Amino acid sequence: MHKRILITLTTALLGLGFSGASLAWLEGGGERGEAMDLTPDLENGMDVYEVCSGCHLPEGWGDTSGTFPQVAGQHREVLIKQMADIREGNRDNPTMYPFALERAIGGAQSLADVVAYIEKLPMNPENGRGEWEKGTPEFAQGEKLYKENCVECHGENGEGIAEKYYPRIQGQHYAYMMRQFEWIRDGKRRNANPDMVKQIKAFSDKDMQMVINYTSRIPVPKDDLAPSADWVNPDFD
Protein backbone atom coordinates (compact mmCIF):
# COMPACT_ATOMS: atom_id res chain seq x y z
CA MET A 1 0.00 0.00 0.00
CA HIS A 2 2.74 2.48 1.02
CA LYS A 3 4.78 1.52 -2.04
CA ARG A 4 1.80 2.21 -4.30
CA ILE A 5 1.29 5.65 -2.71
CA LEU A 6 4.98 6.47 -3.13
CA ILE A 7 4.89 5.46 -6.81
CA THR A 8 1.76 7.57 -7.37
CA LEU A 9 3.32 10.60 -5.64
CA THR A 10 6.55 10.24 -7.60
CA THR A 11 4.64 10.00 -10.88
CA ALA A 12 2.63 13.11 -9.98
CA LEU A 13 5.74 15.11 -9.13
CA LEU A 14 7.48 14.05 -12.31
CA GLY A 15 4.39 15.18 -14.18
CA LEU A 16 4.75 18.61 -12.57
CA GLY A 17 8.24 18.94 -13.99
CA PHE A 18 10.39 17.58 -11.17
CA SER A 19 13.38 15.54 -12.37
CA GLY A 20 14.54 12.43 -10.56
CA ALA A 21 17.54 14.37 -9.24
CA SER A 22 15.37 17.18 -7.88
CA LEU A 23 13.10 14.65 -6.17
CA ALA A 24 16.15 13.35 -4.32
CA TRP A 25 17.08 16.94 -3.43
CA LEU A 26 13.58 17.48 -2.00
CA GLU A 27 13.65 14.22 -0.04
CA GLY A 28 13.04 14.77 3.66
CA GLY A 29 13.73 12.58 6.64
CA GLY A 30 16.54 12.63 9.18
CA GLU A 31 17.06 15.68 11.35
CA ARG A 32 15.47 17.95 8.75
CA GLY A 33 12.21 16.01 8.85
CA GLU A 34 12.26 15.85 12.64
CA ALA A 35 12.83 19.61 13.02
CA MET A 36 10.06 20.39 10.53
CA ASP A 37 7.52 18.53 12.67
CA LEU A 38 8.42 20.11 16.00
CA THR A 39 6.58 23.03 17.60
CA PRO A 40 9.12 25.86 17.98
CA ASP A 41 9.89 27.62 21.24
CA LEU A 42 10.73 31.21 20.28
CA GLU A 43 12.23 32.00 23.69
CA ASN A 44 14.75 29.22 23.29
CA GLY A 45 15.21 30.23 19.65
CA MET A 46 16.31 33.67 20.81
CA ASP A 47 18.81 32.11 23.23
CA VAL A 48 20.21 29.81 20.54
CA TYR A 49 20.42 32.67 18.05
CA GLU A 50 22.98 34.39 20.27
CA VAL A 51 25.52 31.91 18.84
CA CYS A 52 24.53 32.93 15.30
CA SER A 53 24.52 36.66 15.97
CA GLY A 54 28.31 36.87 16.07
CA CYS A 55 28.39 36.56 12.27
CA HIS A 56 24.84 37.27 11.12
CA LEU A 57 24.43 40.16 13.61
CA PRO A 58 21.67 40.40 16.24
CA GLU A 59 19.35 41.69 13.51
CA GLY A 60 20.06 38.76 11.18
CA TRP A 61 21.25 41.10 8.43
CA GLY A 62 24.71 39.67 7.76
CA ASP A 63 26.83 42.21 5.89
CA THR A 64 26.57 43.92 2.53
CA SER A 65 30.04 42.68 1.53
CA GLY A 66 28.42 39.26 1.19
CA THR A 67 30.69 37.47 3.65
CA PHE A 68 27.60 36.59 5.67
CA PRO A 69 24.09 36.47 4.17
CA GLN A 70 21.00 38.16 5.43
CA VAL A 71 19.03 35.41 7.17
CA ALA A 72 16.27 37.59 8.66
CA GLY A 73 12.91 36.82 7.08
CA GLN A 74 14.09 33.66 5.35
CA HIS A 75 11.64 30.73 5.17
CA ARG A 76 12.02 28.34 8.10
CA GLU A 77 11.93 25.38 5.71
CA VAL A 78 14.90 26.76 3.79
CA LEU A 79 16.82 27.52 6.97
CA ILE A 80 16.19 24.05 8.39
CA LYS A 81 17.33 22.38 5.17
CA GLN A 82 20.52 24.42 4.91
CA MET A 83 21.37 24.01 8.60
CA ALA A 84 20.73 20.26 8.46
CA ASP A 85 22.80 19.97 5.28
CA ILE A 86 25.74 21.73 6.93
CA ARG A 87 25.43 19.61 10.07
CA GLU A 88 25.25 16.39 8.05
CA GLY A 89 28.16 17.31 5.77
CA ASN A 90 26.03 17.82 2.65
CA ARG A 91 26.99 21.49 2.28
CA ASP A 92 30.53 22.78 2.67
CA ASN A 93 30.74 25.77 4.98
CA PRO A 94 33.86 25.47 7.17
CA THR A 95 33.24 28.85 8.83
CA MET A 96 29.74 27.99 9.97
CA TYR A 97 30.16 24.26 10.55
CA PRO A 98 31.47 24.34 14.16
CA PHE A 99 28.73 26.78 15.19
CA ALA A 100 26.00 24.69 13.57
CA LEU A 101 26.85 21.46 15.35
CA GLU A 102 24.61 19.96 18.01
CA ARG A 103 27.21 20.58 20.72
CA ALA A 104 27.09 24.31 19.88
CA ILE A 105 23.37 24.94 19.47
CA GLY A 106 21.54 21.74 20.42
CA GLY A 107 19.54 19.09 18.58
CA ALA A 108 16.49 19.09 16.32
CA GLN A 109 14.34 21.03 18.80
CA SER A 110 16.88 23.85 19.02
CA LEU A 111 17.13 23.85 15.23
CA ALA A 112 13.36 24.26 14.96
CA ASP A 113 13.42 26.98 17.61
CA VAL A 114 16.21 29.13 16.15
CA VAL A 115 14.91 29.10 12.57
CA ALA A 116 11.45 30.13 13.76
CA TYR A 117 13.06 33.05 15.57
CA ILE A 118 15.14 34.04 12.52
CA GLU A 119 12.15 33.88 10.17
CA LYS A 120 10.32 36.49 12.25
CA LEU A 121 13.15 39.05 12.23
CA PRO A 122 12.51 42.14 10.05
CA MET A 123 14.81 42.54 7.05
CA ASN A 124 17.43 45.17 6.32
CA PRO A 125 15.88 47.97 4.22
CA GLU A 126 19.31 48.72 2.74
CA ASN A 127 20.62 45.38 1.52
CA GLY A 128 23.74 45.26 -0.65
CA ARG A 129 22.78 45.94 -4.28
CA GLY A 130 24.43 45.71 -7.67
CA GLU A 131 25.68 48.80 -9.52
CA TRP A 132 23.09 49.02 -12.33
CA GLU A 133 19.97 51.01 -11.50
CA LYS A 134 16.57 50.71 -13.16
CA GLY A 135 16.71 52.35 -16.58
CA THR A 136 20.13 50.98 -17.53
CA PRO A 137 20.49 48.32 -20.27
CA GLU A 138 22.10 45.94 -17.77
CA PHE A 139 19.14 46.22 -15.39
CA ALA A 140 16.72 45.51 -18.24
CA GLN A 141 18.71 42.48 -19.41
CA GLY A 142 18.92 41.21 -15.82
CA GLU A 143 15.15 41.48 -15.50
CA LYS A 144 14.72 39.56 -18.75
CA LEU A 145 17.07 36.80 -17.59
CA TYR A 146 15.30 36.61 -14.25
CA LYS A 147 11.85 36.28 -15.80
CA GLU A 148 13.04 33.65 -18.27
CA ASN A 149 15.03 31.53 -15.83
CA CYS A 150 14.20 32.22 -12.18
CA VAL A 151 10.49 33.00 -11.76
CA GLU A 152 9.28 29.41 -11.74
CA CYS A 153 11.17 28.60 -8.54
CA HIS A 154 11.89 31.94 -6.87
CA GLY A 155 8.67 33.74 -7.82
CA GLU A 156 7.93 37.00 -9.61
CA ASN A 157 9.27 39.01 -6.69
CA GLY A 158 11.99 36.70 -5.37
CA GLU A 159 9.70 35.42 -2.61
CA GLY A 160 10.68 31.76 -3.08
CA ILE A 161 8.53 28.73 -2.30
CA ALA A 162 8.91 27.61 1.30
CA GLU A 163 7.49 24.09 0.97
CA LYS A 164 9.87 23.30 -1.90
CA TYR A 165 12.90 24.74 -0.07
CA TYR A 166 13.30 27.48 -2.70
CA PRO A 167 14.80 30.42 -0.80
CA ARG A 168 13.54 33.93 -0.56
CA ILE A 169 16.11 35.96 -2.49
CA GLN A 170 14.47 39.40 -2.44
CA GLY A 171 16.49 41.61 -0.09
CA GLN A 172 19.54 39.35 -0.15
CA HIS A 173 22.96 40.94 -0.55
CA TYR A 174 24.29 41.18 -4.12
CA ALA A 175 27.79 39.95 -3.27
CA TYR A 176 26.51 36.92 -1.37
CA MET A 177 24.16 35.92 -4.20
CA MET A 178 26.96 36.36 -6.75
CA ARG A 179 29.19 33.94 -4.87
CA GLN A 180 26.46 31.34 -4.40
CA PHE A 181 25.27 31.63 -8.02
CA GLU A 182 28.80 31.11 -9.30
CA TRP A 183 29.37 28.09 -7.05
CA ILE A 184 26.07 26.55 -8.12
CA ARG A 185 26.73 27.22 -11.83
CA ASP A 186 30.25 25.77 -11.59
CA GLY A 187 29.21 22.70 -9.57
CA LYS A 188 31.01 23.76 -6.38
CA ARG A 189 27.98 23.74 -4.07
CA ARG A 190 27.20 20.12 -3.34
CA ASN A 191 23.67 20.62 -1.98
CA ALA A 192 22.49 22.75 -4.92
CA ASN A 193 19.20 21.92 -6.60
CA PRO A 194 20.30 19.93 -9.69
CA ASP A 195 17.57 21.55 -11.78
CA MET A 196 19.03 24.99 -11.02
CA VAL A 197 22.52 23.80 -11.93
CA LYS A 198 21.19 22.73 -15.30
CA GLN A 199 19.15 25.93 -15.76
CA ILE A 200 22.06 28.35 -15.26
CA LYS A 201 24.92 26.27 -16.65
CA ALA A 202 25.19 28.39 -19.83
CA PHE A 203 25.16 31.76 -18.01
CA SER A 204 28.21 33.90 -18.74
CA ASP A 205 29.81 35.94 -15.95
CA LYS A 206 28.10 39.05 -17.35
CA ASP A 207 24.73 37.27 -17.44
CA MET A 208 25.28 36.31 -13.82
CA GLN A 209 26.13 39.87 -12.80
CA MET A 210 23.08 41.29 -14.56
CA VAL A 211 20.53 38.83 -13.21
CA ILE A 212 21.87 39.11 -9.66
CA ASN A 213 21.94 42.90 -9.96
CA TYR A 214 18.24 42.82 -10.84
CA THR A 215 17.48 40.34 -8.04
CA SER A 216 19.27 42.48 -5.45
CA ARG A 217 17.00 45.39 -6.39
CA ILE A 218 13.65 43.58 -6.14
CA PRO A 219 11.68 45.49 -3.47
CA VAL A 220 10.87 43.74 -0.22
CA PRO A 221 7.29 44.24 1.08
CA LYS A 222 7.28 47.10 3.57
CA ASP A 223 5.72 44.98 6.31
CA ASP A 224 8.74 42.64 6.18
CA LEU A 225 11.31 45.41 6.61
CA ALA A 226 12.75 47.01 9.72
CA PRO A 227 11.66 50.66 10.12
CA SER A 228 15.15 51.88 9.21
CA ALA A 229 18.71 50.70 8.63
CA ASP A 230 19.45 51.93 12.17
CA TRP A 231 17.02 49.46 13.75
CA VAL A 232 18.50 47.50 16.65
CA ASN A 233 17.14 44.13 17.70
CA PRO A 234 15.66 44.84 21.16
CA ASP A 235 16.20 41.22 22.20
CA PHE A 236 19.96 41.89 22.22
CA ASP A 237 19.98 45.59 23.09
pLDDT in tens, 161-193: 999 999 999 999 999 999 999 999 999 999 999
Query: Are residues 132 and 138 in contact, defined by beta-carbon separation less than 8 angstroms?
Result: yes
For 192, counting Cβ atoms within 10 Å of its Cβ (0-12 exposed, 13-18 middle, 19+ buried), the class is middle
Residue ranges per structural domain of the chain: 21-119, 137-224
The architecture CATH gives domain 21-119: Orthogonal Bundle (1.10)
Provide the whole-model pTM: 0.88
- Provide the pLDDT for residue 158: 98
**CA–CA distance, 185 with 70 (Å, rounded to integer):** 21
**CA–CA distance, 19 with 173 (Å, rounded to integer):** 30
- Provide the pLDDT for residue 237: 82
**CA–CA distance, 96 with 88 (Å, rounded to integer):** 13
Residue 76's pLDDT band (boundaries 50, 70, 90)?
A: very high
Pick from 90-94, 123-127, 221-225: least confident: 90-94
Q: What average pLDDT does this structure show over 210-226? A: 98
Q: Residues 1-40: pLDDT tens digits?
A: 434 433 343 444 444 444 555 555 566 678 999 999 999 9
CB atoms within 10 A of CB 3: 7
Bigger pLDDT: 146 vs 237: 146
- For the domain made up of 137-224, give the CATH fold: Cytochrome Bc1 Complex; Chain D, domain 2 (1.10.760)
Instruction: For residue 212, give the nearest of 143, 157, 152 by alpha carbon.
Output: 143
Q: At CB < 8 A and 24+ separation, what contacts does 227-233 make?
A: 227/122, 227/125, 228/125, 229/124, 229/125, 229/126, 231/59, 231/122, 232/58, 232/59, 233/58, 233/59, 233/60, 233/121
- Provide the pLDDT for residue 30: 85
- Provide the pLDDT for residue 25: 58
Q: Residues 127-155: pLDDT tens digits?
A: 999 999 999 999 999 999 999 999 999 99
Bigger pLDDT: 219 vs 10: 219
**CA–CA distance, 214 with 138 (Å, rounded to integer):** 9
- Provide the pLDDT for residue 24: 53
Q: Which amino acid is at 81?
A: K
Q: Residues 79-120: pLDDT tens digits?
A: 999 999 999 989 999 999 999 999 999 999 999 999 999 999
